[in-house]
């Protein structure tokens, strides 16, 4: 078993902040992606939380060639296959199951699974997964908790997501075991609904100034 880190790590190391998007209207997907890419954020996670999500991933993969679109909130093997078919270049899950491990093993698209507790981390390591999502980051213990994991799990690198904002992003990125963070503040719902894509580009530019 392996995580295909040769495909995943360049994405995670390519930018300190990965926008996490909830696309409710398909027509918003391409303009939002273009705005983020223009601001310097090419890797984008579109979560499978809406009926438009898979079509949005497909639209971005087809119409925004500079974007690296991923699929988030993947909970099972069928969703993994569907997201890959839609054009997702990486898969993000809040947890790790045998079914997801099997789907990842059968795919060229790398998986970034979630793990929180020491037991979950040990289980992920046993399966060859060292790059992990930490979700929900703030509610699950926050910066102090993730920092405390660095010593017993020195080989694990995290992408924390959930409750991270522009105000605390820099503090998360200072942690030695954090390689990047995920955040929805870069493309908030109110700006998407308003069609204010210039504002999203500006938020993306500000996010690129953050460094891990």
Q: Where are the alpha helices (DSSP H) in 43-154?
A: 53-63, 77-86, 98-105, 118-126, 142-148
Q: d(Cα 198, Cα 212) in Å, to the nearest integer?
A: 25
Sign of CA dihedral 116, 120, 122, 123: negative
Q: Where are the alpha helices (DSSP H) in the chain?
A: 5-14, 26-38, 53-63, 77-86, 98-105, 118-126, 142-148, 169-173, 189-194, 197-208
45, 84, 89, 157: which one is catalytic? 45
Q: Is 45 a catalytic residue?
A: yes
Q: Is 62 a catalytic residue?
A: no
Question: Counting every residue, how long is the chain?
Answer: 212
Q: How far apart are the first and last CA of the chain?
A: 28
42, 84, 89, 133: which one is catalytic? 133
Q: Name the residues annotated as catalytic.
A: 45, 133
């Amino acid at each position: 078993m392996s995580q295909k880190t040769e495909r995943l790590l360049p994405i995670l190391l390519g930018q300190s902040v990965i926008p996490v998007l909830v696309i409710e209207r398909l027509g918003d997907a391409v303009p939002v992606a273009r705005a983020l890419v223009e601001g310097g954020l090419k890797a984008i996670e579109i979560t499978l939380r809406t009926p438009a999500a898979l079509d949005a991933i497909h639209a971005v993969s087809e119409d925004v060639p500079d974007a690296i679109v991923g699929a988030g909130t993947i909970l099972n093997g069928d969703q993994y296959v569907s997201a890959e078919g839609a054009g997702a270049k990486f898969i993000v899950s809040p947890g790790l199951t045998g079914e997801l491990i099997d789907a990842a093993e059968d795919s060229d698209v790398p998986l970034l699974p979630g793990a929180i507790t020491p037991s979950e981390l040990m289980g992920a390591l046993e399966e060859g997964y060292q790059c992990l999502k930490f979700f929900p980051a703030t509610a699950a213990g926050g910066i102090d908790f993730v920092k405390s994991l660095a010593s017993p799990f020195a080989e694990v690198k995290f992408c924390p997501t959930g409750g991270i904002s522009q105000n605390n992003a820099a503090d998360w990125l200072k942690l030695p075991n954090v390689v990047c963070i995920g955040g929805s503040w870069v493309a908030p719902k109110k700006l998407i609904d308003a069609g204010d894509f210039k504002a999203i580009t500006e938020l993306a530019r500000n996010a690129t100034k953050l460094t891990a």
